[in-house]
Amino acid sequence: MIFAIFVPLLFALLVPFLSRLKHKIHTGIFVLIVPLGIFLYYVRFIGKDFVPIKKTYSWIPSLGMNLDLYLDGLSLLFILLISGIGTLVVAYSIYYLDQTERLGHFYVYLLMFMAAMLGVVSFDNLFALYTFWELTSISSFLLIGYWHTKERSRYGAQKSMLITIFGGLSMLGGFILLSVIAGTSSIRELIQNADIILNNNYLPLAMGLILLGAFTKSAQFPFHIWLPDAMEAPTPVSAYLHSATMVKAGLYLVARFSPIFSNYEWFFIIISTFGIVTLCWGSYMAVRQTDLKAILAYSTISQLGMIMAMLGFGTEIAVFAAVFHILNHATFKGSLFMVAGIVDLQSGTRDIRKLGGLFTMLPITGTLALFGTFSMAGIPLPFLNGFYSKEMFFESTLQLSLTGSNLQQILTQMMPYLAVFGSIFTFVYSMYLFFGVFGKKKHDLQLPKTPKEAPLGMLIPPSILVLGIITIGLFPNAFNRPFLAHALEAINPQAASQSIGFWHGLNTPFIMSLIVVGMGLVLYGTRSAWTKIYQVIPGKLSFNRVYDRIVEQIDRRSARITNTYMNGSLKTYISFIIGTIVLVTTTYLFITDGFTIKYDNLAEISVIEIVVVVLIVIASIATIFVNHNLAALLITGIVGYGVSILFLIYRAPDLALTQLVIETVSVVLFLLAFYHLPKMRMRDDQKLTKFKNAVIAIGFGTLMTLIGISAHSSNWFEPISDYFLETAQSIGGGTNVVNVILVDMRGLDTLFEITVLGIAALAVFSLIKLKKDKGANK
| CA–CA dist 732, 740 (Å, integer) | 6
| The predicted structure's pLDDT at residue 728 | 84
Residue percentage of the chain with pLDDT more than 70: 97
Helix (H) or strand (E) holding 774, with range, is helix 747-777
354 and 311 housed in the same domain: yes
Identify the band that residue 7 occupies on the pLDDT scale cut at 50, 70 and 90: very high
301 and 414 housed in the same domain: yes
Q: What residues have CB less than 8 Å from 287, skipping those under 6 apart?
A: 425, 428, 429, 432, 527, 531
693 and 738 housed in the same domain: no
431 within some domain:
yes
Residue type present at position 517? V
DSSP string for 52-121 = -EEEEEEEEGGGTEEEEEEE-HHHHHHHHHHHHHHHHHHHHHHHHS-TTS-HHHHHHHHHHHHHHHHHHH
Residues in a beta bridge with 125: 186
| CA–CA dist 464, 316 (Å, integer) | 30
Inform me whether the pLDDT recorded for 778 exceeds 60: no
Strands (E), 149-256: none
| The predicted structure's pLDDT at residue 773 | 67
| CA–CA dist 775, 773 (Å, integer) | 5
191 within some domain:
no
Instruction: Give the model confidence (pLDDT) of 470-491 as tens digits.
Output: 999 999 888 888 889 999 999 9
761 and 663 housed in the same domain: no
696 and 726 housed in the same domain: no
The last residue of a domain, from among 664, 698, 716: 716
Instruction: Give the model confidence (pLDDT) of 232-262 as tens digits.
Output: 899 999 999 888 778 899 999 999 999 999 8
531 and 639 housed in the same domain: no
286 within some domain:
yes
| The predicted structure's pLDDT at residue 506 | 85
360 and 480 housed in the same domain: yes
The last residue of a domain, from among 535, 552, 587: 535
| CA–CA dist 205, 194 (Å, integer) | 15
Summarize the confidence of residues 180-194 as an average pLDDT: 91
**Nearest C-alpha neighbor of 235 from the set 142, 153, 338:** 338
| The predicted structure's pLDDT at residue 455 | 92
| The predicted structure's pLDDT at residue 683 | 67
The last residue of a domain, from among 535, 559, 579: 535
Work out the number of other CB atoms within 10 angstroms of the CB of residue 670. Answer: 17
167 within some domain:
no
355 with 436: CB under 8 angstroms? yes
Instruction: Give the model confidence (pLDDT) of 323-344 as tens digits.
Output: 999 999 999 999 999 999 999 9
425 and 495 housed in the same domain: yes
The total of structural domains in the chain comes to 3
531 and 515 housed in the same domain: yes
| CA–CA dist 659, 540 (Å, integer) | 70
| CA–CA dist 460, 458 (Å, integer) | 6
Summarize the confidence of residues 751-764 as an average pLDDT: 90
Instruction: Give the model confidence (pLDDT) of 577-619 as tens digits.
Output: 898 999 998 888 888 777 777 777 677 788 888 898 899 889 8
134 within some domain:
no
389 within some domain:
yes
| The predicted structure's pLDDT at residue 680 | 66
| The predicted structure's pLDDT at residue 63 | 63
Residues in a beta bridge with 70: 54
Instruction: Give the model confidence (pLDDT) of 498-524 as tens digits.
Output: 778 888 778 899 999 999 999 999 999
Inform me whether the pLDDT recorded for 299 exceeds 80: yes
**Which is more confident, 714 or 454?**
454
| The predicted structure's pLDDT at residue 625 | 80
2 within some domain:
no
528 and 622 housed in the same domain: no
Residue 664 domain boundaries: 567-716
**Conformational region of residue 356, where left means phi above 0, alpha means psi within -120 to 50, and beta covers everything else:** left
pTM strictly above 0.85: no
336 and 360 housed in the same domain: yes
326 with 248: CB under 8 angstroms? yes
**Nearest C-alpha neighbor of 335 from the set 308, 362, 307, 375:** 375
Instruction: Give the model confidence (pLDDT) of 683-741 as tens digits.
Output: 677 788 888 888 888 899 888 888 888 877 777 777 777 888 888 888 878 878 878 88
**Which is more confident, 749 or 134?**
134
684 within some domain:
yes
Sign of CA dihedral 232, 234, 236, 241: negative
Burial class (CB in 10 A: 0-12, 13-18, 19+), 349: middle
| The predicted structure's pLDDT at residue 118 | 94
215 with 167: CB under 8 angstroms? yes
Summarize the confidence of residues 520-546 as an average pLDDT: 90
DSSP, collapsed to helix, strand or coil, labels residue 401 as coil
591 and 442 housed in the same domain: no
